[in-house]
Amino acid sequence: MTDVATSHDAPASPTAVAPLLTLRGISKSFPGVRALDDVSLEIYPGQVTALIGENGAGKSTLVKILTGIYQPDAGEIAIDGRPVEFGSPHRAAQQGITAIHQETVLFDEISVAENIHLGHAPRTRLGLIDWGAIRGGARKVLASMGAGHIAPETRLKELSIANKHLVGVARALSIDARIVIMDEPTAALSYKEIGELFTLIEMLKADGKGILFISHKFDEIYRISDRYAVFRDGQKVGAGMLPETPQAEIVKMMVGRSVDQIFPKHVAAPGETVLKVEDLSHPTEFDGIDFELRRGEILGFYGLVGAGRSEVMQALFGLTRPSRGSIVLDGQAITPQSPADAVNAGIVYVPEERGKQGVVIGLPIFENVSLPSLKRTSLHGVLRLKEEFDLARAYTERLDLRASSLSQDVGTLSGGNQQKVVIAKWLATGPKVIILDEPTKGIDIGSKAAVHQFMGELVAQGLAVIMVSSELPEVMGMSDRIVVMREGRMVTTLENKDLSAEALVSAAAGIRGEDA
C-alpha cells in the first residue's frame, strides 16, 4: 500500500499507519457547478479526521459519494488499498461504511432493536426473523456502549436526539462498520450529551474504526479530532495533524482570508428599557420569567436544549399564550395573540428552524423580504414590484447577501444566506425588539461573521436584541448580559464581564462550584 502520496497531504505521522480509506482525484459536477474538483482524502483507522469547510464547500457531496448516494464523475476510492465502487447506498454499507447524520436517518416508527438490525436481521433456521436474537443483540451492543438505559423495545421516536445518535452508533457497531461518518452529530445536542457522544467516539477509535467527523464547531473539532482536511469551493485546500495546527490558520484556509476576530466587539451603551417582562409563565413550559431589555443591548439567553428558552420567545411573539405575567413594550402592556400582533407591536422573531419557519422556500428572495411589509410596499392592496425590489435590495445588500438576483428562489441559497434573508425581512418592518433564536446554527463561518457583525450594527443603532444561543463562544462573545435558564426557570442573570465559561455552563447545568 503506497500511502500518503499527494504532496499537500498530511506528513506521515510518527505512527505511520496505512489509511483505511483512500480517495484519489474525486470529481463531481452538477449542471453549472463543480461540486468536487480533484479531491483526495485519507481516513485512518483509530483516528478521527475532521472535515472542515463552509456550507457549499463540498462536504455533503463528499459524504454522499462515500455513502453511495452519488457516483463520482472521476477518481477512485480504495479500502485497504483495494479499489472499490459504491454503486448504491446498500453497496457502501456492505463495504463497511455507515453514516450518522444531523437528523439521523433511522426509522421513527419501529423499535430501537429493529433499527439496529435493519437490513441484517438474524434469521432462525426456518428463515424467519429471529426476534429474540434481535432484542438480545441490541441489548448487548447498547450495554457495551454504556447506553444500557435505552430499552431495545422502545420505539425510536420516543427517544431524544442524543439517544437516537447512540442508536446510530450502536447500529454502526452491530453491522461492524469500519468507517463511521458523523455529519454534524452535535448540532442538536446539549453540552452533556455532546460529552457522552465524544466518549463513544473514543470507544470507536479504540476499536480501530476510521471516523470522519463533520462539524462547524471548532471547540469540538479540537477536542476530538486527530487530523483535519479543509475544503473550499469543492477543492481540498489543506490537511494535516490537528493539535499542531492553530485555529486561526484553519479559519484562514476555510475562508481564504484571515478572520482576525470572530466576534466583533461592540461598545455597549444601553439606553432606556424597551421591554419589560414580569413573572411570565406558561402552564407547562416555563415559569416566573423576569427580565428587562434596554435599547442598544444584546441580551443572551443561555441554557441546555429544552430549558424553555425558545418557548419564552414564542410567547413573546404571540405563538403561545402565557398563563400569567406581563409584557410591557415601551411602557405599554401588550398581549400578543398572534405573530401578526407581535410584529405590529414591534417584536420580531428569527426562528431556529430556518427552513420550516423562517423562509418560504418556493418564493423568490424579494417576496420573502417584503412578506411582512406588503402593506407598506403595496398601494390599496395592489402590489408595486418596484417598491418591493427596492425594499429587498436595501436590506439584503446591507447584510451582504450572496445571490445572483433577487428573483432567485430562496431555497437555492445556502443556510447562511437564507438566514440573512430572514433577518432582512424583519429589519424592513422597523422593529423595536428583534429576537434571534440560535441565529448561526448550522451556517458557515463567513455568514456567521456577517450575522454577528450585523448584530453589532443593530444595537449600535439603538435596536434591542435578544439572542438565544446554545453556543458558548457565541453567547459569551456577543451578549452584554446573559440570562441563564434551566428546566423552564431562570437560574440567574449575569453581567458578561470577566465571566468564565465554566461559571456559565455550571449555572445552566445546575452544578455549583464544580467544573463542568
Partner 1 sequence: MNEHTSIDAAVPRHIPDRLGSPLRARLLSWEMLLLAVAVAIFVANSFASPYFLNAWSLSDLTFNFTEKALIALAMALLIISGEIDLSVASIIALCSTFMGLAAQYGVGTPGLVAIGIGTGLLCGAFNGFLVTRLGLPSIVVTIGTMSLFRGVSYIILGDGVFKGYPASFGYFGQGYVFWVISFELALFLAAAALYYFLLHRTSFGRRIFAIGNNHVAAQFSGLRVGRIKFMLFCLTGLMSGIAAVLLTSRLGSTRPAIAQGWELEVITMVVLGGVNILGGAGGILGVVLAAFIMGLMTFGLGLLNVPGIVMSIFTGTLLIVVIALPILFRRLRNRRHARLA
**Site residues, partner 1 (CB under 8 A):** 30-33, 35-36, 54-62, 70, 232-234, 255-257, 319, 338-340, 342-344, 349, 351, 356-363, 366-367, 371-372, 374-375, 377-378, 381-383, 389, 393, 396-398, 400-407, 412-414, 417, 425, 429, 446
Q: Which of 75, 161, 153 is nearest to 116 (CA)?
A: 153
Whether residue 86 contacts residue 68, with contact meaning beta carbons closer than 8 Å, is answered with yes
Residue closer to partner 1 by CB (options 273, 414) is: 414
CB 397 to partner 1: min, Å: 4
Residue closer to partner 1 by CB (options 239, 505) is: 239
CB 67 to partner 1: min, Å: 13
Residue closer to partner 1 by CB (options 36, 490) is: 36
CB 386 to partner 1: min, Å: 9
Say how far apart CA 148 and CA 174 lie, in whole Å: 15
In the structure, how many helices (H) and strands (E) does the chain have? 17, 20
Pure H helices in 152-261: 161-174, 191-206, 218-224, 247-255
Residue closer to partner 1 by CB (options 133, 371) is: 371
Residue closer to partner 1 by CB (options 232, 295) is: 232
Say how far apart CA 48 and CA 50 lie, in whole Å: 6
∠ Cα 274 278 280 (to 5°): 115
Beta bridge partners of 183: 214
Cell of 318: 404571540
Cell of 212: 470522519
Q: Which of 281, 456, 248, 439 is nearest to 358 (CA)?
A: 439
Element (H, E) at 303: strand 298-303
Residue closer to partner 1 by CB (options 265, 380) is: 380
CB 285 to partner 1: min, Å: 18
Residue closer to partner 1 by CB (options 58, 168) is: 58
CB 250 to partner 1: min, Å: 15
CB 336 to partner 1: min, Å: 10
CB 35 to partner 1: min, Å: 5
CB 41 to partner 1: min, Å: 14
Pure H helices in 237-329: 247-255, 309-316
Please report, as a single letter, which amino acid is at residue 33: V
> Mind spelling out the 3-state secondary structure of 13-53?
CCCCCCCCEEEEEEEEEECCEEEEEEEEEEECCCCEEEEEC
Cell of 29: 459536477
Residue closer to partner 1 by CB (options 406, 483) is: 406
Residue closer to partner 1 by CB (options 34, 223) is: 34
CB 292 to partner 1: min, Å: 25
Say how far apart CA 376 and CA 388 lie, in whole Å: 9
Q: Which of 382, 368, 466 is nearest to 417 (CA)?
A: 368
CB 181 to partner 1: min, Å: 14
Say how far apart CA 361 and CA 357 lie, in whole Å: 10
For strands 332-334 and 324-329, give the pairing: antiparallel
Beta bridge partners of 400: none
Residue closer to partner 1 by CB (options 135, 420) is: 420
For strands 21-30 and 74-79, give the pairing: antiparallel
Distances (CA, A) of 300 to 225, 439, 490: 30, 12, 12
CB 436 to partner 1: min, Å: 13
Beta bridge partners of 84: 77
CB 47 to partner 1: min, Å: 24
Whether residue 35 contacts residue 28, with contact meaning beta carbons closer than 8 Å, is answered with yes
Residue closer to partner 1 by CB (options 73, 130) is: 73
Say how far apart CA 101 and CA 96 lie, in whole Å: 16
Whether residue 109 contacts residue 155, with contact meaning beta carbons closer than 8 Å, is answered with yes
Cell of 226: 486527530
Residue closer to partner 1 by CB (options 281, 408) is: 408
For the packed helices 445-460 and 247-255, what is the interaxial angle rounded to 10 degrees? 100
CB 148 to partner 1: min, Å: 38
Three-state secondary-structure class, residue 491: strand
Residue closer to partner 1 by CB (options 308, 446) is: 446
